């Protein structure tokens, strides 16, 4: 042991002077139970929160704020915009009106090059150019003649010529009504039915596109008779699309032959050659017959092709003067 001083020996502690043991810290003051007013305030805050519908909240559009079948706002549930059919109908109607406007502009106006009116003018120009080309090439041109007049129901005839004659380009599927007239003879009517047409020999000398021939002959009786309405003719019929040549003779020869083509107020005569003239006669019982001549030069290009219209008015015969007593 070293020479350092040794610690003094421990002496017994006096109980009176002994230090007091360390005291444990006192626990914090526990919160006092909430009073009745504080609990009522908390419940009021919870009631103020918005009510979320479970069915709506599960929809993606509800979470993204998009319009859906229902919309929740401050706890109130009301129909959404998608549930209103009026807006859908309004949209469909708007699209329909827009499509209609585009169709009208495209087909009924000249706004676009493919418009209806533009196409129609192009067709008319093409027909006119073709007609001029045929005229330069010496090919015959054809047109439609409209004969109008009063009174209604008057028979319209076109002159075929004087017998004996050959009338080409008559429809072989139709019945053709003819009137023969000669000075000093009673007018005579006759009908050429579809059954009268025959296929001729190869050397018949028909003008194309005729393929058949019909023969007709009538005998006139001397006398003076006022021409009356034709009540025996049933009509021409639908036609076949084929054409033929009618060979007509009469006794005596030289009678005027007229072909019935229709009745007023409007009679149409189609496929008339424009390099010749045509004599017309309009007749009705109780009126004086009227005649007119139409030249091919009078035809003009129109919306429906080359056409011309002539108006014929029938007059009643003058009253015979009364004999003086």
Q: pLDDT tens, 1-27?
A: 445 455 555 555 454 555 555 555 555
Mean pLDDT of 301-313: 88
Residue 31 has pLDDT above 50, yes or no: yes
97-118 residues labelled b (16+ CB within 10 A) or e (exposed): eeeeeeeeeeeeeeeeeebeee
Residue 74: closest CA among 45, 43, 54, 48: 48
Cis omega (within 30 of 0) for bond into 321 = no
Q: Are 217 and 249 in contact (CB under 8 A)?
A: yes
Q: 168-178, pLDDT tens digit by residue? A: 889 999 999 99
CB of 150 closer than 8 Å to CB of 314: yes
pLDDT value of residue 236 = 73
Task: Please state the rounded mean pLDDT for residues 95-108.
Answer: 82
Indicate whether 181 pLDDT > 70: yes
Work out the average pLDDT over 224-244.
Answer: 80
Alpha-carbon distances, residue 115 vs 106, 173, 303 (angstroms): 5, 40, 17
pLDDT above 70 coverage of the chain, percent:
66
Residue with tokens 């533009």: 118
> pLDDT value at position 32?
56
Tally of CB atoms within 10 A around 50? 9
* Residue 218 pLDDT: 94
pLDDT in tens, 36-95: 556 666 666 556 655 555 444 455 544 545 454 444 444 444 554 444 677 888 888 899
Rounded average pLDDT over 277-281: 92
pLDDT at 258: 95
Q: Highest-confidence range of 60-69, 113-122, 283-292, by mean pLDDT?
A: 283-292
- Binned at pLDDT 50, 70 and 90, residue 325 comes out as low
Name the nearest CA neighbour of 134 among 318, 275, 309.
275
Q: pLDDT grade, residue 119 (50/70/90)?
A: confident
Residue 130 pLDDT > 70? yes
pLDDT of the residue at 178: 95
Q: Please report the pLDDT score of residue 175 as a whole number.
A: 92
More confident site: 305 or 147: 147
Confidence of residue 191 (pLDDT cuts 50, 70, 90): very high
The residue among 312 and 29 whose pLDDT is bigger is: 312
pLDDT score, position 132: 74
pTM above 0.75, yes or no: no
């Amino acid at each position: 042991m070293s020479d350092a001083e040794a610690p003094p020996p421990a002496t017994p502690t006096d109980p009176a002077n002994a230090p007091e043991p360390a005291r444990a810290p006192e626990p914090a003051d526990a919160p006092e139970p909430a009073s009745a007013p504080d609990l009522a305030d908390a419940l009021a805050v919870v009631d103020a929160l918005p009510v979320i519908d479970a069915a709506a909240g599960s929809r993606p559009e509800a979470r993204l704020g998009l319009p859906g079948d229902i919309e929740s706002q401050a706890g109130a549930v009301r129909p959404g915009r998608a549930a209103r059919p009026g807006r859908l109908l309004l949209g469909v109607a708007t699209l329909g009106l827009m499509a209609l406007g585009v169709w009208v502009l495209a087909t009924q106006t000249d706004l676009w090059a493919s418009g209806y009116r533009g196409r129609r003018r192009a067709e008319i120009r093409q027909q006119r150019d073709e007609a001029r080309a045929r005229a330069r090439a010496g090919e015959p041109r054809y047109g439609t003649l409209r004969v109008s007049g009063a009174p209604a129901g008057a028979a319209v005839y076109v002159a075929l010529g004087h017998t004996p004659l050959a009338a080409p380009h008559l429809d072989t599927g139709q019945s053709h009504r003819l009137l023969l007239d000669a000075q000093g003879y009673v007018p005579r009517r006759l009908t050429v039915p579809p059954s009268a047409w025959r296929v001729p020999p190869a050397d018949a000398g028909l003008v194309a596109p005729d393929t058949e021939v019909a023969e007709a002959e009538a005998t006139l009786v001397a006398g003076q008779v006022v021409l009356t309405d034709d009540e025996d003719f049933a009509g021409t019929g639908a036609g076949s699309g084929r054409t033929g040549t009618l060979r007509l003779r009469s006794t005596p020869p030289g009678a005027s032959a007229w072909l019935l083509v229709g009745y007023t107020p409007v009679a149409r005569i189609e496929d008339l050659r424009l390099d010749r003239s045509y004599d017309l006669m309009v007749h009705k019982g109780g009126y004086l017959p009227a005649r007119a001549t139409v030249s091919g030069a009078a035809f003009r290009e129109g919306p429906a092709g080359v056409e011309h219209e002539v108006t014929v008015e029938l007059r009643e015969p003058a009253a015979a003067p009364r004999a003086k007593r």
